[in-house]
Amino acid sequence: MTATQDFLHIARERGFIHQVTDAEGLAASGRVSAYVGFDCTADSLHVGHLLSIMLLRLLQRTGNRPVALMGGGTTKIGDPSFRDDARPLLDDAQIEANQAGIRKSFDSFLDFGPEAGIMLDNAEWLDELRYIPFLREVGRHFSVNRMLTMDSVRLRLDRDQPLSFLEFNYMLLQSYDFLELHRRLGVTLQMGGSDQWGNIIMGADLVRRMAGAEAFGLTTPLLTTASGTKMGKTAGGAVWLNPDRLAPYGYWQFWRNAEDADVGRFLGLFTELPMEEIRRLGALQGSEVNEAKKILATEATALLHGRDAAAAAAETARRAFEQGEAADTLPSHATALPAAVVDILAEAKLVASKSEARRLIKQNGVRLNDAPVGDEAAQVTLTDLHDGAAKLSLGRKRHLLVRPLG
């Protein structure tokens, strides 16, 4: 079995593949170099990006070469895919700062080096393009009629939302990225989410037209939870990968709070446990599924933050909810999440006023899931829940279980 065949076999088995342009042709490629693009719209990637990152990691583990492409150039345009409005235009300093943060998101997942993975910034070539030569050499290969049928454009127009000429150019630049990476590194495969299918096939077509080479596209499924929520989104916002945006414990809690029906699927995509074990864990029912959720949380956290941080997060959760008072003996308070800690304490009458709550926080007298709350503006979010509740504590004897409203 070739490196590419091995990659495709495991990717299918674990649930990564939604569409492939030419699966047989790709499988016959031998060792492949493949890329995924990441625009620099924030200073960290989030769980919504994790599927593509894990796919690049699998590509490397099967002996192929992953390329992580930073969108320093395309971020200046903004991807219009499945949006009703244009993305805010960022200046060069913001893009550079975001790119520095995003690089950290990859440290735990990919090995970079001359014979390993590669990270590039498309500003390297996009910033140097001359407009008229680009239109003559590249633009002539694109049909406006075809571009208007692509979901990233058509859905915006169908909703009568404006699409700027700037955004309309995005798919040309993304396609040119594929061509440039093919010329520089021999990249023959672009991967991404299912919303990128149109852009990906146009890029593969450009490589064939201008380089006379075979090029392929592969997309991952649009990932939603069993209840239909977009993966990686909570009431508290995005679930960030960088620890300065979300601590390892919060990341662990996010996975621990997965819906029962999602556990088997998430174990296949976001851990590296053997499929035999994943099938066993995914078949657990009733209260036993909680053990599978803890394994999911620990394995996913270990990949990002390291085994020690994952074990510490699991132990913090165990102390918070498996020691001391039984959960059903503690008072509880239901509220819409996210909610400010000071508001919850005041509403639940654990303090006489919000001022008292702030004073206690300053004195390190308030803990959330046994971790000190050091910020007066701290919130309880869905990622803090364990078995449907988060524990707020004042001192050693006053506790409150916070549950989501409804």
Domain ranges of the chain: 3-220, 234-322, 324-406
Task: Give the pLDDT of residue 167.
Answer: 80
Of the options 3.40.920.10, 3.10.290.10, 3.30.70.100, 3.40.50.620, the CATH number for the domain spanning 324-406 = 3.10.290.10
Same fold, 3-220 and 234-322: no
List, as own/partner pairs, every contact residues 354-362 make where C-beta atoms lie below 8 angstroms and the sequence separation is at least 24, other chains included: 360/394
Secondary structure (3-state) at 80: coil
Peptide bond into 338 cis (omega under 30): yes
- What number of other Cβ atoms are within 10 A of residue 94's Cβ? 16
Question: Which amino acid is present at 147?
Answer: M
Task: Give the pLDDT of residue 326.
Answer: 42
Secondary structure (3-state) at 7: helix
Task: Give the pLDDT of residue 330.
Answer: 63
Task: Give the pLDDT of residue 82.
Answer: 53
Task: Give the pLDDT of residue 265.
Answer: 96
Classify domain 3-220 at the CATH topology level.
Answer: Rossmann fold (3.40.50)
Task: Give the pLDDT of residue 187.
Answer: 97
Classify domain 234-322 at the CATH topology level.
Answer: Tyrosyl-Transfer RNA Synthetase (1.10.240)
Secondary structure (3-state) at 240: strand
For residue 281, give every residue at least 6 positions away whose Cβ sits within 8 Å of its Cβ, in sequence order, or none: 263, 264, 267, 273, 291, 292, 295, 296
For residue 339, give every residue at least 6 positions away whose Cβ sits within 8 Å of its Cβ, in sequence order, or none: 379, 380, 402
Residues of the chain with pLDDT under 70: 81-87, 156, 232-237, 320-330, 396-397, 406
Angle (CA) 68 73 74, round 5°: 80
Task: Give the pLDDT of residue 327.
Answer: 47
pTM of the model as a whole: 0.80
